[in-house]
Amino acid sequence: MHTELRLALITAALTCSQLALPAQAQRARVFVASYGNDSNPCTFLSPCRNFQQAVNVVDAGGEVTAIDSAGFGPISISQPITITSPPGVEAGIVPTSGNPAITVDALRSVVQLRGLTLDGKSGGTNGISYTGAGTRVEIIDCLIHNFSADGIYVNNVDVTGFTSTIIISNTISSNNGANGINLAPIQSTLRGALDHVITGGNSQSGILISGVNATGGGFMDFTMRNSVSDDNSGDGIVVLGIGNVKVETRDSIISNNAFNGFTVVGAVASLYADTIAMNNAAFGIGNSGTLESFGNNAIAHNANASTGTLTPVGVQ
């Protein structure tokens, strides 16, 4: 009896202490819901309605979570943050006409976007637009489609000494008016990886990785694994550079694209256990570009002859 009473008193004391915490201490995690209101404090019991309001009040480095399925409005991000929806919840983002769904303009931060559905059918330009500096952007378990420009667009300008990182995993970018993924920084260094990414049905290329404007010592290094670029109206993958871009793909499928499966101009790319099939041409190499092959790729049934010659390399 006395033990039960003590436990009850301890529980009550802990509850009271939690209720007495200052408001600022409760902003490490905030919530949005279909029934929320932006005048609420964004707590689980009193959620906000839109992502932007939650982003405005959460602590730097905090987390915004969708409680249920709904559309939660476009977002502008300028601090480290995680925006997520749990499995079974569809957190939709429809931008205003002529604008991106999500803009990331953070400085030396970590921004994670997880489990989001971005739909540009209202006239949105880009799904996710990154213009920040020195930030690690992680895009995980997202669907991005129907934008008038690119699904994911990186066009950041970094100051000297800043390195940005883009990680895209388990994400689909499809049916966009330009490229599925467009990584084209200006005067900056950009690194990253794509894993289990699908780009398809885009009006230009599935994936464009361009270091043409990454001058002033900037460079780009990217790897791609277990991914698919299919049925795009341009190339499956395009890699452009001025001797400052390196891309390596592995265990990926590049198929049914209207131009080349893989295009390399002025850059270095390599293929390992990839399938390049049913494209207009398997590959195109130009302007001192190099496309290396480890000899274990399946390149077949492309409609026309490729431009350039693969450079054989050994397994390392």
Give the least confident one: 2-11, 41-50, 101-110, 227-236.
2-11
131-148: pLDDT as tens digits: 888 899 999 999 999 999
Map tokens 């509850």 to a residue.
15
pTM of the model: 0.90
| pLDDT of amino acid 162 | 78
| Angle, alpha carbons 133-134-135 (nearest 5°) | 95
Confidence band of 315 (pLDDT split at 50, 70, 90): low
- Which pLDDT score is estimated for 4? 42
- pLDDT for position 159: 57
Residue range 225-260, pLDDT digits in tens: 999 999 999 999 999 998 789 999 999 999 999 999
- Quote the pLDDT of residue 216: 66
